[in-house]
Amino acid sequence: MNQTTSIYSREQIIDAAFELLRKKGWRAVSTRAIAKELGCSTMPIYSHVHSTDELLQELRIKSRMVLKDFQQRKYTEHVFLNLAFGYVVFARDEKNIFKFISIDAPIEFNAENSSSLKSSFFSEFSADSEEAKALAALASSGQDSLIQYTWIFTHGLAMLLNADNATPISEKTILTLLMNAGEAFYVLGTRKGE
């Protein structure tokens, strides 16, 4: 079937690439695979997406939006627990998207540098969000500690659940693990902020 470049919009092409990413992982995303998903030649793809880096950026944006949706759901009454739980559930339920943003095409930041973690947090959540307000209630040094330690623990748990050979863990157990660690890190953050 011969298609013209005007039949598919840039958004449709990015959406098709994202669905491939979601179903099969980053390695399955190629110009030919996107064209096959849309039922067209590769010409429309090349006319709207000019490089792999451009596609990578667009897929990062869509992936971060899905992650943010998971993190902003109200699982509990505690905003930080919701963030952590949402991240872990995202890793469990959206395996390929999680692998994409954490292994295949991660956004670089330094886990030893808590200011880069804090910057990343505030770039994801607006200053007037419930998440940012809860963090701002702590002193700056407490914010740094809370972000650094909860990130390391939460990301580690997410990686374990994302692994293809992971033993299933109930949501209740995930919440218990996160609550226990979170309480310890919050106390540490509060003490560092004194």
Q: Enter the pTM of the model.
A: 0.79
Residue 185 has which token pair? 């890190």
Considering the chain, what is the average pLDDT of its residues?
A: 83
Residue 134 has which token pair? 């809860």
Note the pLDDT of residue 118: 62
Query: Backbone phi, then psi, for 61, in 5-degree steps?
Result: -60, -50
Note the pLDDT of residue 112: 56
| 59-68 per-position pLDDT tens digit | 999 999 999 9
Q: How far is it, in rounded angstroms, from Cα 172 to Cα 179?
A: 10
Query: Backbone phi, then psi, for 60, in 5-degree steps?
Result: -60, -45
Confidence of residue 193 (pLDDT cuts 50, 70, 90): low
| 87-146 per-position pLDDT tens digit | 999 999 999 999 999 999 886 655 555 555 666 666 666 677 776 777 777 677 677 777
Note the pLDDT of residue 57: 93
Are 88 and 158 spatial neighbours (Cβ–Cβ below 8 Å)?
yes
